[in-house]
Copies of this chain bind each other. A is one copy, B any other.
Amino acid sequence: MNGNSPDFPARLRAAGLRPTRQRVALARLLFESGHRHVTAEGLHVEVKATRMPVSLATVYNALNQFRDAGLLREVVVAPGRSYFDTNIGHHHHFFIEPDGELHDFPSDKVTIAGLPTPPKGTRLSRVDVIVRVRR
């Protein structure tokens, strides 16, 4: 109904990943409600609160595999910690500096004009806009 089929085993298989109990549990937390920005530690705390605890190494493995499979994207906004973003469509971010909170905003109303051409021998891969704000 919302385009997000809740059949997580099938979605994982489609991404070339075996639907293990751990990956299904993590996928549920990540994808069953709206878009999210999580850190590995944060997701680990969440999944531990579940009937199916998962090791921190597995959380890191799964996040990296989901990212490599295109199910997540990685966002780097602060030194020392990676965020993983369940929103893989085009969009940009507000970053609230003191708390480390990330908020999406759609990129379709944002126009970026006048970007120079990429340096010789390189191809554009992605344009990230991070709007840093303070309280």
User: Interface residues, chain A, CB within 8 Å of chain B?
Assistant: 74, 76-82, 94, 96-97, 103, 105, 109-116, 118-119, 121-135
Contact = CB atoms under 8 A, between A and B. Distances in A.
Which 3 pairs show the lowest CB-CB distances between chains A and B?
A122-B133, A109-B114, A111-B113
Contact of A132 (B96, B109, B128, B135): B128
A125 B135 CA distance: 10
A131 to B, nearest CB: 5
B122 A135 contact: yes
B111 A94 contact: no
B114 A114 contact: no
A119 B95 CA distance: 10
